[in-house]
Amino acid sequence: MSELVNLHVDGPIARLTLGRAEKLNALTIPMLEGLDAACARLERADTVRVVLVDSSNPKAFCAGADIAEWGALSAQDMWRLWTRIGHRIFDRLAAVPQPTMALIHGMAFGGGLELALACDLRLATADARFGMPEVKVGAIQGWGGTKRLARLVGVGRAKQMIFRAMQIDATTALRWGLVEEVVDASELHRHAQEIAAEIAAGAPGAVRLAKQLIDLEVGGLSAETIAAGLAASFEDGREGVAAFNEKRPAQFKGL
């Protein structure tokens, strides 16, 4: 990791912060490499139960991919150094075992919106704006945005946003299902911390299994049955039942 991407762990909650504030966190290869390193650390962090993805700039979550970095690339290098690497890293972020939540204030455009889409949950401020402006510069989404956007808002709305380079506000994003909640900017971090604490209070093994099941492209009752049986075999599963019966708070320890 670098100063461009910082991962700070405070007990069960980690905060991954984009630190290129002066450029509205426009994404570069070094930033992608920082995200990759953060994911590697999270994959090994058994004590971390929730990850908040944040920005160091209150005016922007992320303005997108830095056109100054990718604009001059050849077609081969665009594939080899930009879309291929970025796609792999965003997929890796989506697959970290802990639930992730993007804290979106200001703009989330292009690759910045793709970054938010790679998270499990999205909490936005009332002034947040969302867009996929790539077609205006003759480009297309390269980091999983087309599929992830369509899954959240529906195919028609995804096509409308992409074809028209359409921006939507936080109210529309909430109505369309692009974000889970909209709060006042002054409440963003406090409310995010509350949500993270609620998630962290659950049995981590069960939460991680639930994430994997929800994210399965092909799944069914048999997969849920196996996972439910596995969860019940964990020490946390037995502790949860015992705490319920004894009418006391559960003391979860991990897998």
Question: Where in the sequence numbering do the catalytic residues fall?
Answer: 114, 134
Q: What is the largest CA-CA distance in the chain?
A: 65
Asked whether the CA dihedral 167, 173, 67, 20 is positive or negative, the reply is positive
Helix (H, G, I), strand (E, B) or coil at 72: coil
Length of the chain measured in residues:
255
Q: Characterize the bridge pairing of strands 100-104 and 5-10.
A: unpaired
The CB density around residue 43, as the number of other CB atoms within 10 Å, is 14
Kind and range of the H or E run holding 76: helix 75-77
All residues at 6 or more sequence positions from 224 whose CB lies less than 8 Å from its CB, including other chains: 213
* Cα–Cα distance for residue pair 7/42, rounded to 1 Å: 9
Q: Cβ(215)–Cβ(94) under 8 Å?
A: yes
Q: Cβ(243)–Cβ(250) under 8 Å?
A: yes
The CB density around residue 41, as the number of other CB atoms within 10 Å, is 16
Q: Which residue has the tokens 């992320």?
A: 62
According to DSSP, the residues that pair with 18 across neighbouring strands are 5, 55
Helix (H, G, I), strand (E, B) or coil at 69: helix
